[in-house]
A = this chain, B = another copy of it.
């Protein structure tokens, strides 16, 4: 019985033990073989799938998108076009988020600059939040 236990897989991949078990529960990861004592033993395939999932999360993909990508990555399954659709949609989301955050940044930065440290009720940050103040 060759393979590694869950703790070692966790250290190897940087994914939390509990998260690994969570991924198994939601069927992102196939249940691995067990020892006679009931402990999970992970081989290279499982290790690789987990690394794939982690990388996808790092890139900000949701779990369902990653699930789809995993399915698409199987042998002879689909063209790169399907993968591209998922990734492009995600890229659009990221761009929208960046634009929104840039707006927030500008608004907040401007408001904080005006914050002279004077006593309330002279406070531009509170002013921007409060409909009656502004």
Task: Please report A residues at the B interface, Cβ cutoff 8 Å.
Answer: 48, 51-52, 55-56, 59-60, 69, 72-73, 75-81, 83-84, 86-88, 90-91, 94-95, 97-98, 101-102, 104-105, 107-109, 111-112, 115-126, 128-132
CA distance A98 to B55 in the complex (A): 19
How many copies are assembled?
2
Which of A56, A111, A112 has the largest count of B CB atoms less than 10 A from its CB? A112
Decide if the interface of chain A is mainly helix, strand, loop or mixed.
helix
Contact status B119-A79, CB under 8 Å: yes
Beyond A52-B130, A108-B59, A130-B48, whether A87 also contacts B73 by CB under 8 A is no
Q: A52 to chain B: which residues have CB within 8 Å?
A: 129-131
